[in-house]
Structure 1
Amino acid sequence: MKRKLLVALPLFLMGWVTQAQEVAYEEYDLDNGLHVILHQDNTAPLVTTSVMYHVGGKDRTEGRTGFAHFFEHLLFEGTKNIGKGEWFKIVSSNGGKNNANTSQDRTYYYEVFPSNNLQLGLWLESERMLHPIIDQSGIDTQQEVVKEEKRLRYDNSPYGQFLYAIGKNLFKVHPYKDPNIGYMADLDAATLEDVTAYNKKYYVPNNAVLVVAGDFEKANAKKMIADYFSGIPKGEDIVRSFPKEEPISEEMKATFYDPNIQIPASMIAYRTPGFTEREAYVLDMVSTYLSDGRSSKLYKKMVDDQKQALQVGAFNIGQEDYSMYVVFALPVGETTLDVLNTEMEEEIAKVRSELISESDYQKLLNKFENQFVNSNSSVEGIANSLARYHMLYGDTSLINKEIEIYRSITREEIKEVASKFLNQNQRLVLSYLPEDTTQN
């Protein structure tokens, strides 16, 4: 009996965790196409108001890269009813905080206020959508802001350009080949007409999802949402037709120089399916198996046992159209990049050819259970997840059931997916090197 109880207990706890973490929500559409998601949680007197737009770095024309990230900044400049430079003052003076971020696929704005300021959060986001002031003065100001960010986070940051270095070599025709922040020459060349047209096309209610999460009453929230957003005109339907990449059939090699580093890095990258595909979930598990924590295969072997690497890792960079699976290492002492590549490939080859052990498999499931619990542990995080699952995955309910996908992945499937996408003839081998100043 005792043995049966011990076996049953983990299964009971697994079911309890899923039930305890279930996120209740309501969703509906306004007539102008704005999708609204409400998650009521009155346990703390805070409310998050967020808007996610389906526009990111990939949404651009040649010669006009970086517009989505630029707009992330520009749409804080002010509106017809909010003076230049007043946005952040309004938020902070009312006890709130706010921020925004942009990926290759979407842009996300949010405010967190004491719950008695829900109306203020909704008004701010409706102002951003309906009444932004877009003029040459704001463009000039934010061009300098973006340039300074690029210098700080990319140009002058150690290893700050590794994603750009991988993307430009892994993609040939898809916009993922260009950095999310864009090229400064493109922003400098942008006209007021270019910027105005971009706003009119993408920052419209039918290309957005509004999430209210936290301490509020639904009837009151719905009335305010209707008051502030239902009168915003619907935009034209957005049609995306990005060029398709040809499959990689031969190993590619490239070199990138970074003047901010002293220790080189080797990076092995593969072009993999977009994050909505089941295979992308499997590759998440592969990366966790290879490099999550000191007991992971790559870390234990190359850092602890063989002392060949200062750092080693594997991660699946999920994107909407194509993802990037990256394995990297920094050498110790005289260890060459070729040696690092050989050792990394050896571990990847094992995943392709052998089933991972049952104990390692159970450890993986435990880690993903823990991630699931943590992802829904704050109202702010829940708001982000609700917007993301609806807009990019087309299924809001994944906030509660995505863990079921990971649970359903078998050891055999891990082996099958690794052998399908992580082969030597499908990879980019990138030598990320210190800049050779003697050549200048």
Structure 2
Amino acid sequence: MVTGGFLLMTVAVKAQKVDFTEYDLANGLHVILHQDKTAPVVAVTVFYHVGSKNEETSRTGFAHFFEHLLFEGTDNIKRGEWSKIVSSNGGQENATTSQDRTFYYEVFPSNQLELGLWMESERMLHPVINEVGVKTQNEVVKEEKRQRIDNQPYGHFLEEIFKRLFTAHPYRWQPIGSMEDLDAAKLEEFQAFFKKYYIPNNATLSVAGDIDIEQAKKWVAKYFTDVPKGPAIVQPNIQEAPITKEIVDTAYDANIQIPAVMAAYRIPGLKSDDSKVLELISNYLSNGGSSKLYKKMVDDKKNALQVGAFNYALEDYGAYITYALPNNNASLQDLLKDIDEEVVKLQTDLISEEDYQKLMNQEENDFVSANTRMLGVAENLSDGHVYFNNTGHINDELSDYKKITREQIRDVAKKYLNSNQRVVLYYLPDTKSGNN
């Protein structure tokens, strides 16, 4: 859901320890509180461990739909009033959905902490889920899909990659889901989805900013204690057979004039140490104008308009994706060959000490940047608790990256980034209008 930008006030911090208090309520809600009095700002966030991977194959898009639906109103917040309440009290709000989780937040002046807690408890305890809200948000989601995916150049590339990279796991569909599935769903199905997943024992409340810990605890107890606990949630545990032979396919997009070539490798989930190594590899190959792929293909050979590599880290698996758009009529096969040559170098030789130190510096800058706002701190605390069973992961992550050696970079590239383990997708212009 997009309702505006983040609160503009930020907090300058160094890469230092983030202190926090955490505990569970009797209903299973996990609570994390972080005090930082450097600015009068507080972020109130709720992380529900439900994403598109928790959906049925015939009812995709439910988790993302609820990202919108739960702003409709509650028994005590009239329909259409949610955003007005937030903005009139100096705050901003939003929500995001991924394959693994749904994340709601408000960022307020710190004297509105109680308001933020009350609103999130209302969302959990008293949401209004009726035909009016469902029909309204159905149109909102359809419009979002049209704008962000259907009518965007290359808007379907992740969908095309993931449905080939995954054949059994629910990662094979994207969080936006199917509009046909949403149209076919009955009101009772939406209500049942809420009742199953949006429960305190499937949620993490993380609050960060200019707060008094003891007062925050009292308000948390006041507003969340009465939320009933639900049945335990069992997350999907679906294994994919390894890819042992290169899969080559073609997809078409009516919104593009310049083709692209993509290569995607199925890799371990974000809890794996190898996922962090692959993050460094993507930075080495394509982070900035001095990166290996950019310098080689955009600057020197001038055969690519764009080239890149990124580690799409998710809870159960990940996808490591490389891509390039041609310049000067370069062939897609030649672009793929150029990318592969750099990968083979990584698999064969150790990167230079200079490049290694540059990677470490980039990682520290990224870490500090991610934790300069209280919203980022609150989200990272929740991520640590849910994904790593370690709320203090926020304090360990940078040191974990700095422990990675040049030898590990070589070995992880050799383990996962091989041509017989990937999907190669030629993403081409579709001259038949209406086909995506």
Q: How does the TM-score come out when normalised to structure 1? A: 0.94
Alignment of 1:80 with 2:75, yes or no, is yes
Unpaired runs of at least 5, structure 1 = 1-16
Partner of 1:115: 110
* SS state at 1:219 partner: helix
Aligned equivalent of 1:27: 22
2:326 counterpart (319, 322, 331): 331
CA distance in 2, matches of 1:114, 1:99: 16
Please give the alpha-carbon distance, in whole angstroms, between the structure 2 residues aligned to 1:318 and 1:100: 19
- Letter of the aligned partner of 1:75 in structure 2? L
Q: Is the 8 A contact 2:282 2:309 kept in 1?
A: yes
1:53 partnered with 2:26: no
Aligned to 1:234: 229
In structure 2, the partner of 1:392 is: 387
Shift of the alpha carbon at 1:209? 0.4
Q: Distance in 2 between matches of 1:264 and 1:191?
A: 40
CA distance in 1, matches of 2:134, 2:370: 36
Shift of 1:305: 0.6
What per-residue deviation string (whole Å, max 9, x for no partner) do you get for residues 51-109 of structure 1?
01000111111100010000000000111001111100111111111000001000110
Asked whether 1:219 is paired with 2:210, we answer no
What is the CA–CA distance in structure 2 between the aligned matches of 1:434 and 1:333, rounded to whole Å?
17
Q: Secondary structure of 1:181's partner?
A: coil
| SS at structure 1 position matched to 2:121 | helix
Offset, 1:357: 1.2
- Give 1:333 deviation, angstroms: 2.0
Q: Distance in 1 between matches of 2:314 and 2:99?
A: 7
Structure 1 partner of 2:8: none
Distance 1:77 1:19, change over 3 A: closer
CA distance in 2, matches of 1:212, 1:413: 36
Q: Equivalent pairs: percent with the same residue?
A: 58
Aligned counterparts of 1:257 and 1:51: Cα–Cα separation in 2:
38
Q: State the alpha-carbon separation in 2 of the partners of residues 242 and 260 from structure 1.
A: 36
Q: Which residue does the alignment assign to 1:3?
A: none
Contact 2:117 2:223 in 1 (8 A): yes
CA–CA distance in structure 1, aligned partners of residues 157 and 15 of structure 2: 39
Query: 2:310 maps to which residue?
Result: 315
Distance 1:438 1:83, change over 3 A: closer
Q: Is 2:183 aligned against 1:188? A: yes
AA matched with 2:302: K
Task: State which of 423, 427, 432 in structure 1 corresponds to 2:427.
Answer: 432
User: In structure 1, how many angstroms separate the alpha carbons of the residues matched to 2:375 and 2:189?
Assistant: 34
**C-alpha distance in 2 between matches for 1:434 and 1:340:** 17
4+ residue runs over 3 A deviation: 17-20
Aligned pair partner of 1:71 in 51, 66, 69: 66
Residue 148 of structure 1: aligned partner: 143
2:282 corresponds, among 272, 284, 287, to 287
- State whether residues 254 and 433 of structure 2, in contact with CA within 8 Å, keep that contact through their aligned partners in structure 1: no
8 Å CA contact 1:37, 1:212 repeated in 2: yes
Partner Cα separation in structure 1 for residue 434 and residue 53 of structure 2: 34
Using the TM superposition, give the Cα deviation of residue 389 of structure 1 relative to its aligned residue in structure 2, in angstroms. Answer: 1.3
What amino acid maps onto 2:22 in structure 1? E
The residue type equivalent to 1:87 in the other structure is W
Q: What per-residue deviation string (whole Å, max 9, x for no partner) do you get for residues 361-393 of structure 1?
A: 111111111111212212121111111111122
Q: Secondary structure at the match of 1:58?
A: helix
> Partners in 1 of 2:117 and 2:58 — Cα distance?
35
Partner of 1:354: 349
SS at match of 1:418: helix
Greater Cα shift, 201-210 or 361-370:
361-370
Higher alpha-carbon deviation: 148-157 or 159-168? 159-168
CA contact (8 A) 1:274 1:321 kept: yes
Please state which structure has a larger fraction of its residues in helix. 1
Q: Would you say the 8 A contact 2:13–2:371 is kept in 1?
A: no
**Aligned CA distance change for structure 1 residues 136 and 438 (closer, same or farther; 3 Å):** closer
1:274 pairs with 2:269: yes
Per the alignment, do residues 19 and 222 of structure 1 end up closer, same or farther by CA in structure 2, a change over 3 Å counting? same
| Partner of residue 176, structure 1 | 171
CA-atom RMSD in angstroms: 1.5
Deviation digits for residues 91-133 of structure 1 (CA, Å, limit 9, x no counterpart): 1111111000001000110101111111110000000000001
Which residue number in structure 2 is paired with residue 244 of structure 1?
A: 239
SS for the counterpart of 1:343 is helix
Q: Indicate yes or no: 2:155 matched with 1:160.
A: yes
Q: Is the 8 A contact 1:285 1:364 kept in 2?
A: yes
C-alpha deviation, 1:18, in angstroms: 10
Equivalent in the alignment of 1:10: none
80-89 or 235-244, which moves further after superposition?
235-244
2:52 alignment partner, SS class:
coil
Residue identity in the other structure for 2:194: N
Distance in 2 separating the partners of 1:96 and 1:366: 34
Q: Report if aligned partners of 1:27, 1:36 keep a CA contact under 8 Å in 2.
A: yes
Cα offsets for 1:3-23 (capped at 9, x unmatched): xxxxxxxxxxxxxx9985211
Helix, strand or coil: the match of 2:192?
helix
How far does the alpha carbon of each residue in 1:194-216 deviate from its partner, in whole angstroms, 9 at most, with x for none?
A: 11110011000000000111112
CA contact 1:30–1:230 (8 Å) conserved in 2: yes
Cα deviation code 1:330-378 (max 9, x no counterpart): 0002101011111111111111111111111111111111111212212
2:368 paired residue number: 373
Report the equivalent of 2:377: 382
Equivalent position amino acid for 1:182 in 2: G
- Measure, in 2, the Cα distance between the counterparts of 1:385 and 1:241: 23
Alignment match, 1:205: 200
TM-score for the superposition, normalised by structure 2: 0.95
Q: Which moved more, 1:122-131 or 1:107-116?
A: 107-116
Name the SS for the 1:437 alignment partner.
coil
Q: Tell me the distance in 1 between the aligned counterparts of 2:152 and 2:374.
A: 32
CA contact (8 A) 1:291 1:314 kept: yes
> How far is the alpha carbon of 1:242 from its aligned partner?
3.7
Encode CA deviations 1:165-219: one digit per residue, 9 max, x unaligned: 1101111111011111001110011111111110011000000000111112111
Instruction: State how far apart, in whole Å, the 1-side matches of 2:202 and 2:222 are.
Output: 19
Q: Does 1:256 align with 2:239?
A: no
